[in-house]
Homo-oligomer: A and B are copies of this chain.
Amino acid sequence: MASSISNNEIKRIKALSQKKFRDETGLFIAEGEKIVEEAVRSGYGIEKIYRREDIGEEAMSRISQLSSPSPVLAVIRKPDEGSLLHIPSGGLYLGLDSIRDPGNLGTIIRIADWFGIDGIYAAPDTVDVYNPKVVQATMGAIFRVRFRYCNLVETAERFLERGGKVYGTFLDGNNIYSSTLDTGAHSPVMIVIGNESEGISDAMSEHVSDRLFIPPYPVDEPGSESLNAAVATAVTVAEFRRRALE
């Protein structure tokens, strides 16, 4: 029946819920049939796959990060940062100016996947992308979207030096629907997403070349004070892609 898993192995897997141990080992975990299947298909290095039918229900619930443990958990090697180390010559990118909520980051990665974003740059105090809550919220999109932590202000500067654009949404920005949008065909374009409560930082704002605004309805009567960070990302990116398809 159940093959054995040692207490030490359980301890090492559980430790991967902490960033410190993920950084030390270069490993992270993903749970669930679909997401593990996507990890395998993506070509990520799979360290080991644990199945409930093999290790037993009790061991599974000990290594799981979920309130209802799924039947399968994979320990996966983090990829290297690859091509995002160099400033690209074109394409559409997101710049995360410190997203703090794991659910929001997961949702943003899922949006980036759906809309074919070429890569995500994140300020260092953005939540860790290999946090189990982020991994689960991406529903597998994490294995298809390139992601890199960097000095976001410097990266934005490099984008501008290359003749690119840096967009950001602000309450006093220009109506996105009546603005010209560069979709990255000839130079790199970054859409900056601000922090959930602080928005885009002052340091980053200085490097935004084009200030946008998602109009409420009716236009002059905003009800809410703002849209959720992931929602604003979705509406903005969808509009960039609508233009590219026109």
**Chain A contact residues, CB within 8 Å of chain B:** 103, 107, 110-111, 113-116, 139-141, 144-145, 177, 214-219, 221-228, 230-231, 234-235, 238-239, 241-242, 244-246
Contact = CB atoms under 8 A, between A and B. Distances in A.
A235 B214 CA distance: 11
A144 B140 CA distance: 36
B139 A107 contact: no
B234 A116 contact: no
A217 B234 contact: no
B228 A110 contact: yes
A215 B24 CA distance: 40
Nearest to A241: B217
Given A214-B238, A217-B245, A231-B231, 18 more contacts: A103-B103, A107-B228, A110-B227, A111-B231, A113-B224, A114-B214, A115-B216, A115-B217, A116-B216, A116-B217, A116-B223, A144-B223, A177-B242, A177-B246, A215-B245, A228-B230, A230-B230, A235-B238
Contacts of A223: 113-114, 116, 141, 144-145
Contacts of A221: 116
A225 B115 contact: no
A110 B229 CA distance: 12
A230 B235 CA distance: 11
A94 to B, nearest CB: 13
A191 to B, nearest CB: 13
A34 B101 CA distance: 20
Contacts of A242: 177
- In the A-B complex, list the 6 residue pairs whose CB atoms are closest, starting with the nearest: A116-B217, A113-B223, A217-B241, A231-B234, A113-B224, A235-B238
